[in-house]
A and B are shown apart, each in its own frame.
Chain A
Amino acid sequence: MSLERSALPLGDDRTRSRPESGPLTLSLIKRYLDAGRLWLRKAMAPGGITGVIMALVFVIGTDFFLLILRYIQELPPVSLTSLIPIVVAAMLWGTASAVVTTIGCALSLSYFFYSPFYATAADRSRVLGIIVFLVVSLVLGYLAARTRRDAARALKRENEIRDLYTFSQRLSSAQSPAGIFEAMQQHLETLVGRKVLLFDSLGTLEAKSELLGDVEIPPAVTETVSKMSAAATDSHGIVVDDHRGSAWLVRPVSTNAADFGVIAIDLGRPSEVFDELRARVVALIGDAGLSLERLGLARTISEARTRAETEQFREALIGSVSHELRTPLSSILGASTVLSLAPEVAGNARLKKLAALIHQESERLNVEIQNILDASRISSNGLQAKLEWAEPADFINAALQRCRNRLTSRAVEVALPEELILLRIDSVLMERALGQILDNAAKYSPPESPINVRGHIESGQFVISVTDQGAGLDADDRTLLGQKFFRGNRHSQVTSGLGLGFWIASAFVAANNGTIEATSEGVNKGMTVTVRLPLPMKENHADEGE
Chain B
Amino acid sequence: MAEGDQHVLIVDDEAQIRQFVRAGMELGGYRVTEAANGSDALREITLHPIDLVILDLALPDIDGSELLERIRGWSGVPVIILSVRAGETEKVKLLELGADDYVVKPFFMSELLARAKVVLRRQSERKDGESALRLDRLVIDFAARTVELDGKRLNLTPKEYRLLQVLAQHPGKVITHQNLLKSVWGQAHVNNTQYLRIFVRKLRQKIEVDPNRPKILLTELGVGYRLSDPASRDHVRLE
Contacts and interface: CB of A to CB of B under 8 A. Distances in A.
A337 B109 contact: yes
B222 A427 contact: yes
Given A326-B105, A338-B109, A408-B239, A331 B20 contact: yes
Given A334-B108, A335-B20, A405-B239, A545 B197 contact: no
B198 interface: yes
Contacts of A544: 194-195, 198
B222 A386 contact: yes
B61 interface: no
Nearest to B14: A327
Interface string A388-402: 111101110110000
A331 B16 contact: yes
Interface string B8-31: 000000101101110110011000
Contacts of B238: 337, 340, 356, 359
B224 to A, nearest CB: 11
A140 B78 CA distance: 94
Instruction: Give the contact-size bracket for chain A.
Output: 35 or more
| Interface of B: prevailing SS | helix
Contacts of B200: 391
B219 A337 contact: no
Given A395-B221, A397-B213, A398-B221, A334 B14 contact: no
A119 interface: no
Interface stretch (A104-112, A193-201, A414-422): A414-422
Nearest to A360: B239
A342 B27 contact: yes
A371 to B, nearest CB: 14
A30 interface: no
A431 interface: yes
A332 B107 CA distance: 10
A334 B201 contact: no
B24 A405 contact: no
B27 A422 contact: no
Contacts of B189: 545
Contacts of B221: 394-395, 398, 427-428, 431
B201 A420 contact: yes
| Interface of A: prevailing SS | helix
Contacts of B14: 327, 331
B147 to A, nearest CB: 18
A328 interface: yes
Interface in B80-117: 84, 88-89, 105-110, 113
B145 interface: no
Contacts of A405: 237, 239
Instruction: Give the contact-size bracket for chain B.
Output: 35 or more
B142 interface: no
Nearest to A335: B20
A357 to B, nearest CB: 11
A428 B198 contact: no
A7 B214 CA distance: 84
A426 interface: yes
B193 interface: yes
A484 to B, nearest CB: 23
Nearest to A390: B197
Interface in A299-336: 326-335
B212 A389 contact: no
Interface in A356-383: 356, 359, 362, 366
A414 B201 CA distance: 18
A541 interface: yes
A216 interface: no
B161 interface: no
B155 interface: no
Contacts of B106: 326, 329-330, 332-334, 362, 366
Contacts of B213: 393, 397, 414
A431 B219 CA distance: 12
A212 interface: no
Contacts of A389: 193-194, 197
A214 interface: no
A341 interface: yes
A330 B85 CA distance: 13
Given A338-B109, A405-B239, A541 B212 contact: no
Nearest to B157: A546
A326 B84 contact: yes
B212 A334 contact: no
A515 to B, nearest CB: 22
Contact of B20 (A326, A334, A359, A428): A334
A545 B20 contact: no
A408 B24 CA distance: 26
12 contacts: A326-B106, A330-B107, A334-B20, A341-B27, A341-B110, A386-B89, A389-B194, A389-B197, A397-B214, A420-B198, A544-B198, A545-B189
Interface of B: 14, 16-17, 19-21, 23-24, 27-28, 84, 88-89, 105-110, 113, 157, 159, 185, 189, 192-195, 197-201, 211-214, 219, 221-222, 237-239
Given A332-B106, A394-B221, 8 more contacts: A326-B105, A334-B21, A335-B20, A338-B27, A340-B238, A341-B113, A391-B200, A395-B221
